[in-house]
Amino acid sequence: MRDQLQRIQQWAERRLPALTRHRRLEELPIELHRRRVYILPTGFGVAFTLLLLVMLIGSLNYSNNAALLLTCMLGSATAISMLVAFRTLNGLRVRGLRAGHATAGQPIDVTFDFEATRLRQAVRLDIADGTRAFDVQGRTDVTVSIPTERRGWLSMPRFCIWTTWPLGLFRAWSWMHPHYAVLVWPRPELSGPAPTLPVEDHRRQRLHRGEDLAALRDYRSGDSMRHVAWKASARHESLLVKDYEQPEARQEWRLDWRQLRGMDNEARIARLARWLGEAQSQGRQWSLWLPNEVIELGDGPAHYARCMSALALLP
Amino acid sequence: MIGFRRHRRAPVRLSDRSFGLLCLTTAFVLAVHAAHLPLWLTAALTAALALRWWQRQHRPGRIPGWLKVPALLLLVAAIILDYGNVFGRDPGSALACGLLVLKLTESEGPRDARVAAAFACFLLMAALLFGQGLIATLVVALGLLPALTTWRSLEPTQIPVNLPRQLLPALVLLVTSLPLTLTAFVLVPRLNSPLWGTSTQQAAKTGLSDQMSPSDFTELLTDDSAAMRVSFDGTPPPKNQRYFRAYLMWDYNGKDWTRRNDSPSVPAAIEAGSTIDYHISLEPTHQHVLPTLDMPLHAPAQSQMHADGEVFADKSVDEVLDYTLRSALRYRYQATLEPATRMLALQLPSDFDPRTHALAAQLRQRYGSDNGAIIRAVLQMFHDGGFSYTLLPAPLGHDAVDDFLFNTREGFCEHYASSFTVLMRAAGIPARVVTGYQGGFWNNVGQYLLVRNSDAHAWSEVWLDGRGWVRVDPTAEVRPQRINLGADAAGSNPLLPWYESGLWESMRNHWDIVNRWWNEGVIGFDALRQRGLLTPFGIRELDTGTLEKLLAISMAVFGVAGLSWALWRRPEGDPALAAMRALERKLAHAGIARGRSEGPQNYLRRAIRALPAQRAELDQLMRCYIDLRYATVVPSPESLRTFRRAVRNFQPRRVV
């Protein structure tokens, strides 16, 4: 049944482009208005209408005017609920979208920035087989997760904003397809070799370690006696130990695409992504050398994001 | 089309609030049906409802199937035992109430709750089939609130509210729907005849019968539904002459009066005085008799007139029947009486009412052969003898008339007509009981007389030598209001205790007016009234086609109004700029128009030079506007308000 409906829907979208103009990409912000809000009774609404008809015929048949009045009242309330459903969506704006970061295969968080002058209750957002319900008053952020598969640009899927407010008798909906894409980072490989470092780098590392006596910390039991900074401790109340595990002491990595010869592109990207992750978690500085771009030495989340984005955009 | 994409959702558990609202709705349904459900069923269903509510609060979960199926079987069996079957209005609604409570025991998801609340709406409407009084209808409409709120509570909104606040939007919704409701109610074409048999319940309804026994009449006198509607050619007769005769009762068995199938009278010519032409629209009675105003001069089509002016249709009146008649209001009929008829008109059962017989003999002795004097004396006795009018009289014993005349002295028309006739016969004056309708409500808008079943009445006719049959209404002696104002007015006791007098009485009267308005305007708004809807506008008869057109037009009007409400948006734009434009218009009116490329500061400076008397005011306006436009990104609403008020109050005074 569900598949059939979807097939019919796909057919309609193919054959009746006039009805499906909402499939075009649109620029943000998007404001819902009467030309793009559709409304139909829900299944329950249809059933209730039939019940109202039965009540109408019954009360007319028994010429029971009080029952007729009640039926008319319920019918009018139903009609008004249709207008209320429409009003819930009419004038609702999506001001913008903000995407978080995610690697391929992980869901990515996309935040919708909704705006409405009036309170809109029980608005629902269908995106990527999930439904979120929320109220909009003033400006409201709604975050949804969208599954990702591949690195690179992921266009926002078409999504549906709908509501059955207030009584669940009518469903008002509108499709949106904003011109917006989120960048999905490559997925790092799970394990592999560390980046090969040039030999002189090893020497420099040792030298570096020997020189760096600036960082001292309190003695902890188990510290080697050879690492105790005796001179410094003499001027201090407690023992001080030379600390060699300072991040600054870490040697920078030069991550080069060309080092990874003999692998296919995706594997190279996955490895570089893993190295980037390791460098970031170890607090190293690194530079990234790609075929078309060189990202100079740097560190921190912004640098990491820049490098990952560059990797994601590799052909 | 595209909207029907379904989504798999995890089964959502009904929230406690929604379930509570559903229970409240069900409780309402049980309350409005309690009046006609058997007591045991109401008690059992209420207990089941309370139990289910408690169970869900403390031990959440569905009721197991092995408990539900026997409960259903038990319900059906109990209803069959009590009513005999499960079809028809009463057992049907009892079964439906039971099913609603059973549905509640398995309601765990939003879908169940929706269905149950819709079913509750249907049951609320069904309650009106048992009585459509104002109070009942209001209570039922109130019952819609929890039902609508249940639906509302199923929508996923995050704003928490307490119960009264939650019920409020449903009330607002119902109130907003009132104009549309009333229009639809007035214009929905009524059926001229029912689509399917409603006879089972209509036949059970009381109506005049060819037998007069006390219980029938009490039911009849409290039945406010319409019996017939009468329109007159020319002026309607005065109130005290609106007697519609239906049956003549000849035979008395000590308890009941019955009609004779073979009329004892010989038809005789009616010597008519003033006559009146009128038209009657009779509600279905499922009987043959056609009530006529006083003494009819001919029978309408497809009916027969018996001697003494009883008119019977050829077939029973199962639908609204219209007939036109001419009647005599003053007449002389059967100036001489056949001996056989005379015998019948004097016949009384033996072994009944000895004291009445004694009283009659005493009267006869005192007044001799003056029948008129005897009648006057008896009426005087009713008037002064401590008799009272009540619809709930004390029960009478074996000698009913004796009991009534000498002990209880309270009753309604039937008691008075019966005892008066017995007394007359005992005194040797030929007499008979007449039942029919008296009074009615004059509808000024529709220009017709609405006669209700509660206007049913009984009176006497006595035969006087030379004058023939003469109408005597003993009830009029006890309660003249009954004749002049109608049955409702007569119901109240004249000797009121203090708490029933004054304010209370006036409140009751007002309430009665409200009720009457309800009966007239809503319950009595039938096909006939609907057809006469546009009479003030010159359209005498509205046919169904016109009604449908009117309905369509008004629905379109409401549709346009509703759509413009739905599509209306707060005018967007800069309010400060709008206020500035208003100021410019005012200044332009005074001859200071803003140049095409003139900045606000320049412009207002120029205005200050032109209107030096208002320098301070204009200066203030200018500062205010500049601040609003350029000082902050989002101006504070207060300064905006100040500026707009200042613009509104500003009036340029031209200095010549």
Q: Do B132 and A60 touch (CB under 8 A)?
A: no
> Could you tell me if A155 and A212 lie in one domain?
no
Count: domains in chain A: 3
Residues of A in contact with B544 (CB under 8 A): none
Closest CA to B95 of B33, B139, B47, B148: B33
Question: Which among A70, A126, A160 has the least Cβ separation from residue B140?
Answer: A70
> Could you tell me if A140 and A203 lie in one domain?
no
Nearest Cα residue in chain A from B142? A70
Q: Do B122 and A55 touch (CB under 8 A)?
A: yes
Question: Which among B122, B176, B201 has the least Cβ separation from residue A80?
Answer: B176
> CA distances (Å), A304 to each of A181, A192, A249, in order?
20, 19, 19
Question: Which among A64, A74, A160 has the least Cβ separation from residue B121?
Answer: A74
Beta bridge partners of B272: B331
Give the residue from B28, B177, B193 with the most A CB atoms within 10 Å of its CB, the best one to mutate: B177
First to last CA, chain B: 72
What is the distance in angstroms between the Cα of B536 and the nearest Cα belonging to chain A? 23
Residues of A in contact with B181 (CB under 8 A): 69, 72-73, 75-76
Is the pLDDT at B656 greater than 90? The verdict is no
* CB contact at 8 A, B294 and B327: yes
**Given this model, what pLDDT does residue A42 score?**
93
Query: Residue ranges of the alpha helices (H) in A227-313?
Result: 230-234, 265-282, 301-312
> Could you tell me if B383 and B336 lie in one domain?
yes
Does some domain include residue A221? yes
Count: domains in chain B: 5
Is the pLDDT at B297 greater than 60? The verdict is yes
Residues of A in contact with B115 (CB under 8 A): 44
What is the distance in angstroms between the Cα of A116 and the nearest Cα belonging to chain B? 11
Give the residue from A38, A56, A72 with the most B CB atoms within 10 Å of its CB, the best one to mutate: A72
Maximum CA extent, chain B: 118
Does some domain include residue B381? yes
* CB contact at 8 A, B317 and B203: no
Which amino acid, B603? Y
Cβ atoms within 10 Å, residue B246: 26
Q: Render B187-200 in DSSP notation, one character per residue.
A: HSPPPSS-SS--HH
Question: Which among B132, B157, B195 has the least Cβ separation from residue A66?
Answer: B132
In this predicted model, what pLDDT tens digit does every residue of B367-409 receive, in sequence order? 888 888 888 888 888 888 888 887 777 778 888 888 888 888 8
d(CA B482, CA B474): 11
> Could you tell me if B558 and B603 lie in one domain?
no
Q: Which two tokens stand for residue A305?
A: 């994001």
**Given this model, what pLDDT does residue B21 score?**
92
Query: Residue ranges of the alpha helices (H) in B486-543?
Result: 487-490, 503-518, 527-531
Burial of B568 (0-12, 13-18, 19+ CB in 10 A): exposed
**Average pLDDT over every residue of B90-107:** 90
> Could you tell me if B370 and B435 lie in one domain?
yes
Residues of B in contact with A81 (CB under 8 A): 173
- Does the N-terminal peptide bond of residue B160 adopt cis geometry, omega within 30 degrees of 0? no
> Could you tell me if B388 and B469 lie in one domain?
yes
Give the residue from A13, A65, A131, A139 with the most B CB atoms within 10 Å of its CB, the best one to mutate: A65
Q: Which two tokens stand for residue B110?
A: 């939003």
Residues of A in contact with B2 (CB under 8 A): 9, 12-13, 19-20, 38, 175
* CB contact at 8 A, A271 and A260: yes
Does some domain include residue B55? yes
**Given this model, what pLDDT does residue B320 score?**
67
Q: DSSP 3-state assignment of A263?
A: coil
d(CA A292, CA B568): 55
Is the pLDDT at B150 greater than 90? The verdict is yes
> Could you tell me if A179 and A32 lie in one domain?
yes
Q: Do B173 and A166 touch (CB under 8 A)?
A: yes
> Could you tell me if B586 and B464 lie in one domain?
no
Cβ atoms within 10 Å, residue A151: 24
Is the pLDDT at B531 greater than 50? The verdict is yes
Nearest Cα residue in chain A from B171? A77
Contacts of A44 (CB under 8 A, 6+ apart): A168, A169, B111, B114, B115, B118
Residues of A in contact with B112 (CB under 8 A): none
> Could you tell me if A293 and A191 lie in one domain?
yes
Q: Do B118 and A162 touch (CB under 8 A)?
A: no
pLDDT band with cut points at 50, 70 and 90 for residue B30:
very high
**Given this model, what pLDDT does residue A221 score?**
77
**Given this model, what pLDDT does residue B5 score?**
39
Q: Do B125 and A169 touch (CB under 8 A)?
A: no
Beta bridge partners of A241: A217, A228
**Given this model, what pLDDT does residue A79 score?**
93
Does some domain include residue A7? no
Residues of B in contact with A127 (CB under 8 A): none
Q: DSSP 3-state assignment of A187?
A: coil
Q: Do B522 and A135 touch (CB under 8 A)?
A: no
Is the pLDDT at B36 greater than 80? The verdict is yes
Task: Classify the C-alpha dihedral A211-A217-A219-A220 as positive or negative.
Answer: negative
Q: Render B312-377 in DSSP notation, one character per residue.
A: EESS---S-EEEEEEEESSEEE-SS--HHHHHHHH---TTS-HHHHHHHHHHHHHHTT-HHHHHHH
Is the pLDDT at B614 greater than 90? The verdict is no
d(CA A208, CA B242): 124
Q: Do B128 and A67 touch (CB under 8 A)?
A: yes
Provide Rg for chain A, Cα atoms: 31
Q: Mark which of A209, A229, A250 sits at the end of a domain.
A: A250
What is the distance in angstroms between the Cα of B267 and the nearest Cα belonging to chain A? 41
Residues of B in contact with A56 (CB under 8 A): 188
Q: Do A70 and B137 touch (CB under 8 A)?
A: yes
Q: DSSP 3-state assignment of B438?
A: strand
What is the distance in angstroms between the Cα of B137 and the nearest Cα belonging to chain A? 6
- The values of phi and psi at residue B566, to 5°, are -70, -35
> Could you tell me if B411 and B286 lie in one domain?
yes
**Given this model, what pLDDT does residue B218 score?**
66
Does some domain include residue B280? yes
Q: Do A65 and B185 touch (CB under 8 A)?
A: yes
Residues of B in contact with A65 (CB under 8 A): 132, 185, 522-526
Nearest Cα residue in chain A from B200? A62
Does some domain include residue A8? no
Q: Do A80 and B180 touch (CB under 8 A)?
A: yes
Closest CA to B181 of B137, B212, B216, B214: B137
Residues of A in contact with B172 (CB under 8 A): none
Does some domain include residue B189? no
d(CA A86, CA A80): 10
Nearest Cα residue in chain B from A165? B155
> Could you tell me if A179 and A294 lie in one domain?
no
Q: Which residues of chain A have pLDDT under 50?
A: 199-200, 202-212, 247-248
**Given this model, what pLDDT does residue B513 score?**
67
Is the pLDDT at B599 greater than 60? The verdict is yes
Q: Do A168 and B194 touch (CB under 8 A)?
A: no
Look over chain B and give the mean of its residue pLDDT values, rounded to a whole number: 82
**Given this model, what pLDDT does residue A18 score?**
58
d(CA B147, CA B117): 5
Does some domain include residue B632? yes
d(CA B116, CA B123): 10
> Could you tell me if A162 and A220 lie in one domain?
no
In this predicted model, what pLDDT tens digit does every residue of B198-241 receive, in sequence order? 544 444 445 677 777 765 676 677 676 778 888 888 888 888 88
* CB contact at 8 A, A58 and A66: no
> Could you tell me if B20 and B135 lie in one domain?
yes
What is the distance in angstroms between the Cα of B156 and the nearest Cα belonging to chain A? 5
> Could you tell me if B487 and B502 lie in one domain?
no
Residue B312, CB-side half-sphere exposure with 13 Å CA sphere: 14
Does some domain include residue A91? yes
Higher pLDDT, B349 or B506: B349
d(CA A313, CA A294): 14
d(CA B206, CA B221): 9
pLDDT band with cut points at 50, 70 and 90 for residue B255:
confident
**Given this model, what pLDDT does residue A230 score?**
82
Does some domain include residue B125? yes
Does some domain include residue B199? no
Is the pLDDT at B4 greater than 90? The verdict is no
Instruction: Describe chain A by its helix, strand, coil percentages, rounded to 5.
Output: 35, 30, 35
Which amino acid, B412? F
Residues of B in contact with A69 (CB under 8 A): 137, 181, 185, 522
Does some domain include residue A3? no
Q: Do B7 and A129 touch (CB under 8 A)?
A: yes
* CB contact at 8 A, A37 and A89: yes
> Could you tell me if B387 and B303 lie in one domain?
yes
* CB contact at 8 A, B226 and B237: no
Does some domain include residue B655? no
> Could you tell me if B282 and B357 lie in one domain?
yes
DSSP state of A248: G
Between A and B, how many CB-CB pairs are < 8 A?
Answer: 182
Is the pLDDT at B27 greater than 90? The verdict is yes
Range of the domain at B640: 575-649
pLDDT band with cut points at 50, 70 and 90 for residue B309:
confident
Is the pLDDT at B144 greater than 60? The verdict is yes
> Could you tell me if A53 and A180 lie in one domain?
yes
Least confident of B151-155, B268-272, B424-428, B472-476: B268-272
What is the distance in angstroms between the Cα of B132 and the nearest Cα belonging to chain A? 6
Nearest Cα residue in chain A from B143? A70
What is the distance in angstroms between the Cα of A105 and the nearest Cα belonging to chain B? 22
> Could you tell me if A97 and A178 lie in one domain?
yes
> Could you tell me if B509 and B432 lie in one domain?
no
Pairing type for strands B410-411 and B388-389 reads parallel
Range of the domain at A235: 198-250
What is the distance in angstroms between the Cα of B467 and the nearest Cα belonging to chain A? 46
DSSP state of A103: B
> CA distances (Å), B562 to each of A164, A222, A255, B519, B559, in order?
18, 82, 66, 31, 5
Q: Do B174 and A9 touch (CB under 8 A)?
A: no
Contacts of B480 (CB under 8 A, 6+ apart): none
> Could you tell me if A117 and A146 lie in one domain?
yes
Q: Mark which of A232, A250, A268 sits at the end of a domain.
A: A250
> Could you tell me if A82 and A134 lie in one domain?
yes
> Could you tell me if A167 and A246 lie in one domain?
no
pLDDT band with cut points at 50, 70 and 90 for residue B601:
confident
> Could you tell me if A134 and A39 lie in one domain?
yes
> Could you tell me if B448 and B395 lie in one domain?
yes
Give the residue from B14, B144, B165, B181 with the most A CB atoms within 10 Å of its CB, the best one to mutate: B181
Q: Do A69 and B185 touch (CB under 8 A)?
A: yes
